[in-house]
């Protein structure tokens, strides 16, 4: 099978952990150990989140004068290279030497009129107490929204329209390469109005799950997995009556409401992939990837399922 695996940013840098290279490498090593066995039997493409990482780089850049800070599209490119490098190295330490890897800086087109620019929703960077968030908002003109009991910076998150490097990804797959691409939802770009063929970067972060779903469709993937820090999608999350969904069709799972800042985009992306392709999308824990491929763990969404079942 051809499998696209989207690693959540929080699966690589867990909430509350120190944002250090050592911490990130340890988590990426865990991810590599979960993914490596699958590559022996299946063709694998890996994408990843970058919210914590791009936020950290933005904080580092804030040490410069405001007009010297690097824009989000450039920071996104930096995180693709950084995370791709670590993933390649840790997977290479587990797999035979002759297995080829490639990390592609991936530009993704968005629409300048996308409503996401008017309503920033994408969390980036670390969490803050309210006084610290208020101070940074005043100092840097950043926008903050509540994330659990803390506050995080939010930036625009337009929908992906086109993945420019899709042909090189396909060429690499034909040669048996494990490809890492579309990291952080890809590098957001658009064509400037009135200037034909002038592609420029955009101050935004594309949702990784939506871009990964587009990638999975365009690669004709047999399975699309979104690996996160939750074992499955739960209804009534955090309540005594919470239940883990095992199998569902797009209509049945789409009838439930999930948080926009966490599980909501994953469920929407899963429903879109299942509806448009007739194949399965899955959401589950990184450590359970092998069992998710077998259909035994996680939440599996497929249009052919007649009713919702539970773990």
> DSSP assignment of 85-138, as one string?
HHHHHHHHTTS-TT--EEE---EEE--TT-GGGTS--EEEEEEE-HHHHHHHHH
Q: 149 in a domain, yes or no?
A: no
Q: 120 in a domain, yes or no?
A: no
DSSP notation for 156-206? --PPP-EETTHHHHHHHHHTT-EEE-SGGG-EEEEEPTTSTT-EEE-S---
User: Which position among 27, 208, 279, 298 bears the catalytic label?
Assistant: 208
Is 76 catalytic? The answer is no
Q: 202 in a domain, yes or no?
A: yes
**CATH number, domain with residue 17:** 3.40.1160.10
Tens-binned pLDDT, residue by residue, of the chain (311 aa): 999 999 986 667 777 778 788 988 999 999 999 999 999 999 999 999 887 788 788 777 777 766 677 888 999 999 999 999 999 999 999 999 999 999 999 999 999 999 999 999 888 777 889 999 999 889 888 899 988 888 988 989 999 999 999 999 999 999 999 999 999 999 999 998 877 789 999 989 899 999 999 999 999 999 999 998 889 999 988 788 889 999 999 999 988 888 877 789 999 999 999 999 999 999 999 999 999 999 999 999 999 998 889 88
Instruction: Give Cβ neighbours of residue 177 (< 8 Å, ≥ 6 apart).
Output: 100, 101, 102
Q: Which two tokens stand for residue 270?
A: 């899963």
Q: What is the SS3 assignment for 213?
A: helix
Q: 11 in a domain, yes or no?
A: yes
Query: Which class for 132: exposed (0-12), middle (13-18), buried (19 or more C-beta within 10 A)?
Result: middle
d(CA 8, CA 82): 15
User: Which position among 49, 122, 125, 284 bears the catalytic label?
Assistant: 122
Q: Do 3 and 226 contact (CB within 8 A), yes or no?
A: no
Is 279 catalytic? The answer is no
d(CA 4, CA 146): 31
Print the domain residue range for 190.
2-108+160-310
Is 175 catalytic? The answer is no
CA dihedral of 194, 200, 205, 210, whole degrees rounded to 10: 70
Q: 138 in a domain, yes or no?
A: no
Going from the C-alpha of 8 to that of each of 51, 227, 233, 265, the distances in angstroms are: 9, 6, 14, 12
Is 10 catalytic? The answer is yes
Is 266 catalytic? The answer is yes
DSSP 57: H
Q: 246 in a domain, yes or no?
A: yes
Q: 113 in a domain, yes or no?
A: no
Q: 239 in a domain, yes or no?
A: yes
User: Which position among 8, 9, 51, 185 bears the catalytic label?
Assistant: 9
User: Which position among 266, 284, 298, 302 bears the catalytic label?
Assistant: 266
The domain total for the chain is: 1
């Amino acid at each position: 099978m051809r499998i696209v695996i989207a690693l959540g940013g929080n699966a690589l840098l867990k909430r509350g952990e120190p944002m250090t290279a050592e911490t990130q490498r340890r988590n990426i090593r865990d991810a590599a150990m979960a993914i490596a066995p699958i590559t022996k039997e299946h063709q694998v493409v890996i994408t990843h989140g970058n919210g914590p990482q791009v936020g950290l780089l933005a904080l580092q850049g804030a040490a410069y004068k405001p007009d010297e800070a690097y824009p989000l599209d450039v920071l996104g490119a930096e995180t693709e290279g950084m995370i791709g490098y670590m993933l390649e190295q840790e997977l290479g330490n587990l797999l035979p030497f002759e297995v080829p890897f490639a990390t592609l800086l991936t530009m993704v087109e968005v629409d300048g009129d996308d409503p996401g620019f008017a309503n920033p929703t994408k969390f980036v960077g670390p969490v803050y107490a309210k006084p610290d968030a208020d101070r940074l908002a005043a100092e840097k003109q950043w926008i903050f929204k509540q994330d659990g009991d803390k506050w995080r910076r939010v930036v625009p998150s337009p929908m992906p329209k086109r993945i420019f490097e899709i042909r090189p990804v396909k060429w690499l797959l034909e040669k048996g390469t494990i490809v890492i691409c579309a990291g952080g939802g890809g590098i957001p770009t658009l064509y400037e109005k009135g200037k034909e063929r002038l592609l420029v970067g955009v101050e935004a972060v594309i949702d990784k799950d939506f871009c990964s779903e587009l990638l999975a469709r365009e690669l004709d993937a047999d399975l699309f997995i979104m690996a996160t820090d939750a074992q499955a999608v739960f209804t009534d999350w955090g309540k005594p009556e919470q239940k883990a969904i095992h199998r569902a069709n797009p209509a049945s799972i789409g009838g439930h409401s999930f948080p926009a800042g966490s599980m909501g985009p994953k469920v929407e992306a899963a429903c879109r992939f299942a509806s448009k392709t007739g194949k399965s999308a899955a959401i589950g824990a990184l450590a359970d990837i092998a069992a998710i491929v077998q259909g035994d763990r996680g939440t599996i969404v497929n249009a052919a399922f007649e009713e919702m079942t539970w773990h």
